Structure 1
Amino acid sequence: MDGEVVLQEEDPDGSWTLLSWLASCLMVFGGALPYLPQYQEIQMSSNTEGFSTRVCLVLLIANILRIFFWIGKQFELTLLLQSIVMILTMFAMLHLCCMVQNANRVSTKQHRLLDLDLQYFWKWTVFEDYLLFCFGFTVLCAVVTLLFLDSAVFVEMLGSLALCFEAMLGLPQLLRNIQNRSTKGMSVKMVLLWTAGDVFKTTYFLLNESPAQFWVCGSAQILIDAVILLQVLLYSPDTRAKLG
């Protein structure tokens, strides 16, 4: 009887541990999941119009900075792994975009990082240039972080900068939609996945008492997601037909 009581008392702890583990797994891989349908869409259509590679730029910078923030502040390991997975996901998206754009390219002229032409910044022809840029940025961050790692103010500013970039994640896509007056390549389902992911991770940040920068970033992302969802609905053929 005593053994049964002990087991019953341990069950809630075991259930909570399982839920915590599942939540951590969702945090690590959940941010990459919404990009799977977009990756498949680009593959099938051989068209990158519906995806802004500036999203990759924002996320790469944000997550590289976040890794150095983790070095300075040692918050949850889950959030470090999430950054690594997101960096790999963005490289996969960039690689696909480069392949598709090169296959559709009419002109044989190439734009390279070492041309140092600001007009074609982040519009390079070769995927390796994106890797080279990120490597150089990482080395620069590493040097600066090592110099100021003992400064609590610097570490907090680094975290704020990292999460500020991440908070602006959806902004390039939002602006691209306004410019094109179209959300071709996007769907309500896709944006709802983004929004659900941002709601989940913001809740995770609050429950786990992550640094304040994280939940502020999550709240800003939810707001931008809501605007993009409105764009998808507004620019859909059915809505245009009703308004026109």
Structure 2
Amino acid sequence: MDEEVVLQEEDMDGSWTLLSLLASVLMVFGGSLPYVPQYQEIQRISNTEGFSTRVCLVLLIANILRIFFWIGKQFELTLLLQSVVMIVTMFAMLHLCCTVQNNNQVSTKQHRLTDLNFQYFWKWSAFEDYLLFCFGFTVLCAVVTLLLLDSAVFVETLGSLAVLFEAMLGVPQLLQNFHNHSTRGMSVKMVLLWTAGDVFKTTYFIMNESPAQFWACGSVQILIDVAILLQVLFYSRDTRVKLG
């Protein structure tokens, strides 16, 4: 009898370990998955109108800061790997956007980072400029973190800034949709993937007792996801009415 109980406990432990591993894998790659259909859609229509590259800016800054937050306060390795994967994903989106925009543009005028024209900040023509900006930002963060690493206040502030930027992730897309009165390039399925991912992520933060900044960020993201979903439903209905 005792052996049966031990075997059942071992099976439960094994199942829980497997579920934890699957949850960690989903956590690492889940945040990037919603961008796969968007990447494919931009490729298909050769148009970036429905995607705001400022989403990439927000996520790049948030995840670079999160990496330095991890250096000052080690949390789950899963969340560190998630940041690395997200940074790679955002660079892939930026590279595609630059390629499509350069192929579609009529004017030969190029906007470069070295022009130091704030009007065209994050609207550069060359992908290399985005890489250069992120490299400079990373070096700056590295120097400041190295100098203030022993300060608990600085480390906590760094974490708060990281999740604040991430919490504002959907705001550029929300504003662009409102400005264009359109959600072209977006779909209900895509936004539902975003929302499901943020719900899963927030649940993961709570269950794993991650720093409070993380689950607070996830809660705000869910609210913004719902707002974007309402935009997609509203503008899609408006388009159908006009076509009718």
Range of TM-score over shorter length? over 0.9
Structure 1 residues 103-142: aligned runs within 5 Å? 103-142=103-142
Question: Whole-Å Cα distance in 2 between the matches of residues 159 and 237 of structure 1?
Answer: 40
The aligned length equals 243
Partner SS, residue 236 of structure 1: helix
Partner SS, residue 16 of structure 2: helix
Give a deviation string over 1:170-207, Cα, whole Å, max 9, x none. Answer: 00000000000000111111000000000000000000
Q: 1:13 maps to which residue?
A: 13
Q: 2:94 maps to which residue?
A: 94
Which amino acid in 2 is paired with 1:130? Y
Question: Whole-Å Cα distance in 2 between the matches of residues 230 and 206 of structure 1?
Answer: 27
Question: Whole-Å Cα distance in 2 between the matches of residues 14 and 56 of structure 1?
Answer: 38
Structure 1 residues 143-154: aligned runs within 5 Å? 143-154=143-154
Structure 1 residues 191-210: aligned runs within 5 Å? 191-210=191-210
Q: 1:167 maps to which residue?
A: 167
> 1:3 offset after TM fit, Å?
4.8
Question: Whole-Å Cα distance in 1 between the matches of residues 186 and 31 of structure 2?
Answer: 17
Q: 2:55 maps to which residue?
A: 55
Q: Does 1:81 align with 2:88?
A: no
Question: Whole-Å Cα distance in 1 between the matches of residues 27 and 139 of structure 2?
Answer: 27
More displaced, 193-202 or 3-12?
A: 3-12
Question: Whole-Å Cα distance in 1 between the matches of residues 161 and 150 of structure 2?
Answer: 18
Give a deviation string over 1:128-183, Cα, whole Å, max 9, x none. Answer: 00000000000000000000000000000000000000000000000000000000
Aligned partners of 1:234 and 1:240 also within 8 Å: no
Aligned partners of 1:206 and 1:215 also within 8 Å: yes
Which amino acid in 1 is paired with 2:52? S
Partner SS, residue 123 of structure 1: coil
> 1:241 offset after TM fit, Å?
1.7
> 1:240 offset after TM fit, Å?
5.7
Q: 1:215 maps to which residue?
A: 215
Q: Give the structure-1-normalised TM-score.
A: 0.97
Question: Whole-Å Cα distance in 1 between the matches of residues 239 and 46 of structure 2?
Answer: 26
Question: Whole-Å Cα distance in 1 between the matches of residues 6 and 216 of structure 2?
Answer: 41
Q: 1:188 maps to which residue?
A: 188
Which amino acid in 1 is paired with 2:224? I
Which amino acid in 2 is paired with 1:115? D
Aligned partners of 1:167 and 1:221 also within 8 Å: yes
Which amino acid in 2 is paired with 1:96? L
Aligned partners of 1:51 and 1:173 also within 8 Å: yes
Give a deviation string over 1:21-54, Cα, whole Å, max 9, x none. Answer: 0000000000000000000000000000000000
- In structure 2, stretches of 5+ residues that fail to align are none
Aligned partners of 1:202 and 1:219 also within 8 Å: yes
Q: Give the structure-2-normalised TM-score.
A: 0.97
- In structure 1, stretches of 5+ residues that fail to align are none
Question: Whole-Å Cα distance in 1 between the matches of residues 239 and 11 of structure 2?
Answer: 52
Which amino acid in 2 is paired with 1:174? L
Question: Whole-Å Cα distance in 2 between the matches of residues 81 and 102 of structure 1?
Answer: 32
Which amino acid in 1 is paired with 2:118? L
Which amino acid in 1 is paired with 2:49? E
> 1:5 offset after TM fit, Å?
4.1
Aligned partners of 1:64 and 1:138 also within 8 Å: yes
> What is the RMSD computed on CA atoms of the aligned residues?
1.4
Question: Whole-Å Cα distance in 1 between the matches of residues 82 and 20 of structure 2?
Answer: 15
Question: Whole-Å Cα distance in 2 between the matches of residues 39 and 105 of structure 1?
Answer: 19
